[in-house]
Chains A and B, each alone.
Chain A
């Protein structure tokens, strides 16, 4: 039972490059989320999805894009990477609207130089 799988675990990008952070869950959860975690700060919501084909912005969406073509996958796209996007990114899923708790992936540590 893999839960939520994120790849890659680490990545260094140069300013202006683009990349996609992958997130896959095998629990048939409808709700999926992307958060970023900066040192000393709380987790901030970037984007979320309530089902395949439905996505919406969270608190800090600028510089990111998402898609949800299947229940299992929720990739996060970074276009034109900037140093401010240096962070740890977590993907999470839940079976209902968070009430039963999120299952988090192990995170992607991204550095933009």
Chain B
């Protein structure tokens, strides 16, 4: 069964304290791994797509990496505005674009 597990469920950081969020996945034929950011009361916002092990992508203070079993979202020197829930999702081979989502990691960054 295809599934996505994110850890930790919640993470509290001080401003400037770097850390990583984990996304472990089991999927039959990975077509892509996706990271989204979701603010309270809003829809998820697309961040990255990773396709193959070893691939990395960056956007401002965020860097996503991918191995054959998991992905990490590294947050460098976070700011309070980085506070949000971060969602990981995978697309299985043969799917019509539908994604399987993890439950998310709620990140809080305190000034």
User: Is B66 positioned at the interface, with any CB of A under 8 Å from its CB?
Assistant: no
Question: A96 CA to B39 CA in the complex, in Å?
Answer: 25
User: Is A53 positioned at the interface, with any CB of B under 8 Å from its CB?
Assistant: no
Q: Interface residues of B toward A: which range?
A: 20 to 34
Which of A12-20, A66-74, A75-83, A97-105 forms contacts with chain B?
A97-105
Known: A97-B91, A98-B91. A56 touches B43 (CB 8 A): no
User: Is B49 positioned at the interface, with any CB of A under 8 Å from its CB?
Assistant: yes
The residue of chain B having its C-beta at the shortest distance from the C-beta of A6 within the complex is B43
A107 touches B97 (CB 8 A): no
B43 contact from A44, A58, A96, A105, Cβ within 8 A:
A105
A40 touches B103 (CB 8 A): yes
A50 touches B97 (CB 8 A): yes
Q: Interface residues of A toward B: which range?
A: 20 to 34
B46 touches A50 (CB 8 A): no
A–B Cβ pairs within 8 angstroms, 13 of them: A4-B43, A33-B97, A42-B102, A43-B87, A43-B99, A90-B44, A97-B91, A97-B95, A98-B99, A99-B32, A101-B36, A104-B43, A106-B41
User: Is A25 positioned at the interface, with any CB of B under 8 Å from its CB?
Assistant: no
Nearest CB on B from A39, distance (A)? 10
B31 touches A99 (CB 8 A): yes
Nearest CB on A from B50, distance (A)? 11
B97 touches A106 (CB 8 A): no
The residue of chain B having its C-beta at the shortest distance from the C-beta of A101 within the complex is B46
Nearest CB on A from B20, distance (A)? 20
Q: For window 30-48 of chain B, which residues contact chain A by CB distance below 8 Å?
A: 31-32, 34, 36, 41-46
**Chain A residues near B87 (CB, 8 Å)?**
42-43
